[in-house]
Amino acid sequence: MAKHQFQTEVSQLLHLIVHSLYSHKEIFLRELISNASDALDKLSYLTLTDEKFKSIAFDPRIEISFDGKDRRTLVISDTGIGMDEVDLVENLGTIARSGTRLFLSRLSGDARKDSNLIGQFGVGFYSSFMVADKVEVVTKKAGEQQAYKWTSDGKGDFEIEPAELDGHGTTITIHLNDEGKEYADRWQIEDLVKKYSNHIAFPIYLRYTSGDEKKGQEEKVDQINSASALWRRSKTELTDKDYKEFYETISHDAGEPLFWVHTRAEGAQEYVTLFYVPKKAPFDLYQADYRPGIKLYVKRVFITDDEKELMPVYLRFVRGVIDSEDLPLNVSREILQQNRVLASIKSASVKRLLAEFKSIADGNKELYAEFIEQYNRPLKEGLYSDFASREALLELVRFKSTAVEGWTSFADYKARMTPEQKAIYYITGENEERLRESPLLEAYKQKGIEVLLMADEIDEIVIPSLGKYGELDLKAINRTGADDALKTEDDKKKEKELDPLLKLIKEVLGDRVKEVRASSRLADSPSCIVADENDPTVQLQQMMKALGQKEIPDFKPILEVNPGHEIVKKLQADSSDKALFEDVSHLLLEQALLVEGAQLKKPAEFVRRLNRVMAKAL
């Protein structure tokens, strides 16, 4: 008998599961059945594709039995692939996925929040310890002679020893604790299987005794799930309830789907797809090692659920099934990635999904708002990464705006434009509140020109890369070149008159700025800074720094001053006090930098200047 320690993370996970998820303890059955189904999938695939396994007697089934009298044990067995000694140590002693570690770090200790999170995350086998004092796993790998028994009380270590088992597969015996007793019951088990595992593709049997002791008892075995490939049935046969149940079966998500798209393609290629959009974005949406959400089947045989190529990265939140009639069963990973059949299923699926999003956007504003709250950002990633879908995605992304409450689209903006307006204006920045107060907006507001407020980090990268929406230019108002529309003949005259003053200010500021210009975008503020058309904005520079880019060249801002502002007018009238003129010039720049959210390199100097000017004014 060999004793092993659990990996530290496993102990941590076990502790958390047992202490914060007890209100959701029933999910252990779903998790164990899902593991059994995976094990059957793996073996079924091998029997079809691998010579070594073709002769194996394979009767795929999951069976549940329990001791109804003392209510002390519950047994879940499968005839799947099984595990050898090494598998046992690796699979039931460590945590391989870094996603699990991330998950652990996200748990807050607040049971209610955590149980929401856990709904999205398969805690798997270890959840059995919520209802067990002890768990025994007896398993034999298909094609091998020796079976092994794994035993643990979930407290820190486990034991492995040789054992006996007929045939191949895995039998898990749960020694129920007081909380788990209720599950040693025929109706409880049936209910839970119907609720969570009805659409598992293999039959699930329940073994129980019926009758009573006096009249005689009899042992019965009933199939308790429907075990059909639901996606193969026709839409008209299926109810919302069927779809939602199936979603739970495949997604590990205890929440509901927001909507789904079920498509059957016939003709050049035959396949069925059933896609779901989860109501809540998957917890690992922004993790590089996110778990892909699509299961690939060929003629109803499960092939893989670990293939990121099945969906473009930006649609990684989609859950569901692709089942093809035309792919070969023994597709390897390498073949999958270049397979033409799959490539065309994939591109048709993307089109279908985007079309569905559009029809919801047009027909069900409330639902679409919910969708956008969760998935606006991945769609914007698509604008950047999926050139072929750009047109479609441009109609799907949403923004905040100075003109309307809530979300708006490019198309709506266009519809609100005045005939004279030639471009779509936007401003990027760190957050919406700050953007709404930006001095750069002043003149646009005065002239009634709408500006889109882009506070998503990704906007800085994506929107400039678009350049246009239809025939309309997209112009950032925190850059040069966006203010032409605002300039009247009168403005141009005033600018000319300001030239000598601008030269003086530039002399004072030296290479702190690239240029000093007259502004036509300001109303109440004396100054603002903008980025040169091709330079990164302050926010983008900060983002590059945050992403670890060390050598960011020192991009100098352009200072714009407001010819109509009192300070500027006074400077223009009298610049004889040299010291004061210098202080005010620097302050014009520094206040504009601060409003933009930039950090001053020498804050102490700024404060000294401010104090000198205040002293003079008093």
**Residue ranges binding ligand ADP (CB under 6 A):** 31, 35-36, 39, 78, 80-83, 91-92, 122, 124-126, 170
Q: CB of residue 123 vs ligand ADP: minimum separation in angstroms? A: 7
Pick the closer one to ligand ADP by CB: 36 or 227.
Answer: 36
Residue carrying the six token digits 């979930």:
154
DSSP string, 439-494: GGGHHHHHTT--EEEE-STTHHHHHHHH-EETTEEEEETTBTTS-GGG--HHHHHH
64 or 451: whose CB is closer to ligand ADP?
64
CB of 399 to ligand ADP, least distance (A): 38
Query: Residue ranges of the alpha helices (H) in 198-298?
Result: 240-251
Q: Nearer Cβ to ligand ADP, position 88 or 315? A: 88
Alpha-carbon distance of 313 to 281, in angstroms, equals 14
Q: Which is nearer to ligand ADP, 35 or 520 (CB)?
A: 35
To the nearest whole angstrom, how small is the minimum distance from the Cβ of residue 30 to ligand ADP? 11
Q: What region, left, alpha or beta, does residue 263 occupy, with left being phi > 0 and alpha being psi -120 to 50 degrees?
A: beta
Quick one: which of 148, 100, 492 has its CA closest to 291? Answer: 100
Among 156, 183, 167, which Cα is nearest to 73's?
183
CB 537 within 8 A of CB 460: yes
State the nearest-atom distance from the C-beta of 36 to ligand ADP, in Å.
5
Of the two residues 118 and 383, which places its CB atom closer to ligand ADP in the complex? 118
CB of 478 to ligand ADP, least distance (A): 46
Please say which residue, 35 or 537, places its beta carbon nearer to ligand ADP.
35
- CB of residue 293 to ligand ADP, shortest distance in Å: 14
Three-state DSSP class for 143? coil
Quick one: 137 or 424, whose CB is closer to ligand ADP? 137
The whole-angstrom separation of Cα 83 and Cα 88 is 6
Q: Which is closer to ligand ADP, CB of 110 or CB of 306?
A: 306
Q: Which is nearer to ligand ADP, 82 or 119 (CB)?
A: 82
Cβ closest to ligand ADP, residue 81 vs residue 250:
81
* Residue carrying the six token digits 């945050």: 546
Contact 243, 272 (CB under 8 A): no
Note the helical H segments in 276-364.
Answer: 333-338, 340-363
CA-CA distances (angstroms) from residue 503 to 508, 509, 517? Answer: 9, 10, 9
CB of 56 to ligand ADP, least distance (A): 15
Please report, in angstroms and rounded to a whole number, the separation of the first and last CA atoms in the chain: 88
Positive or negative torsion for Cα 594, 600, 603, 605: negative
Among candidates 277, 283, 265, which has minimal Cα distance to 357? 277
Tokens of 461: 């990268």
Nearest CB to ligand ADP, comparing residues 41 and 560: 41
10 versus 453: smaller Cβ distance to ligand ADP: 10
Q: What are phi and psi of 344, to 5 degrees?
A: -80, -30
Q: SS3 breakdown of the chain: % helix, strand, coil, rounded to 5?
A: 45, 20, 35
520 SS3 class: coil
- Residue type at position 270: E
Burial 378-388 (b: 16+ CB within 10 A, else e): bbbbbbbebee
Shortest approach of ligand ADP to residue 62 CB, angstroms?
9
By the 8 A CB rule, do 220 and 209 touch? yes
Up-side HSE of residue 474: CA atoms within 13 Å toward CB?
21
Q: What is the 3-state secondary structure (H, E, C) of 251-280?
A: HCCCCCEEEEEEEEECCCCCEEEEEEEECC
Q: Nearer Cβ to ligand ADP, position 31 or 381?
A: 31
**Distance (Å, whole) CA 126 – CA 110:** 20
| Minimum CB distance to ligand ADP, residue 444 (Å) | 52
* Least gap, CB of 320 to ligand ADP (angstroms): 18
Bridge partners, 138 (sequence order): 149, 171
Nearest distance, CB of residue 120 and ligand ADP, angstroms: 13
Closer residue to ligand ADP (CB): 82 or 278: 82
Q: What CA–CA distances, in Å, run from 582 to 55, 506, 563?
A: 91, 10, 18
